[in-house]
Amino acid sequence: MDVIYQVLVFIHIFSAILGMGPGFILTTVVKSGDTMTELRHSYAIRHKLHIFVMIGGILLLVSGLLMGAIHPYLFKMGWYVTSLLLFLVALAMGPLALTPKSKPVKALLESHQGDDIPAEYYPLAKALFRVEHIENTIFLIVIALMILKPF
């Protein structure tokens, strides 16, 4: 069982790198667009990176829960339970907060004619990025809890 646990730890750490790493730059990728063509391309790249984030996130959750199943005492550790709850909150932010904020941006990218970035894009993007920064902060707290195991 110890070998299985070590494999799960490896998968868990690898998944964090694979999933969370790209997640921290999703906002940065689209901030570099100066024209609608560049912005559309940036959002296309962002979408491809988001696939890694989703795969990594699923593997993180599954491997973390399996480690808890192998060592149930983890469910009594404050850092583990807090990390799990924060991770679930961050996952729920996808459909509950990020999707509603990203839909108007996507619609604008699809419908706008011309290469100038319309003024209405900026407040929409700002609202989306604000939610993404909150989510990234949650993930940083989770990472800190996983490393430090403070309680």
- Residue 32 scores a pLDDT above 90: no
Global confidence as pTM:
0.89
Give the residue from 29, 18, 4, 96 showing the smallest Cα distance to 58.
18
CB contact set of 137 (below 8 Å; sequence gap of 6+)? none
Q: How far is CA 52 from CA 24, 117, 146, in A?
A: 12, 28, 21
User: What are the residue boundaries of the structural domains of the chain, listed by start?
Assistant: 2-148
Cβ count within 10 A of residue 99: 11
**Predicted pLDDT at 49:** 94
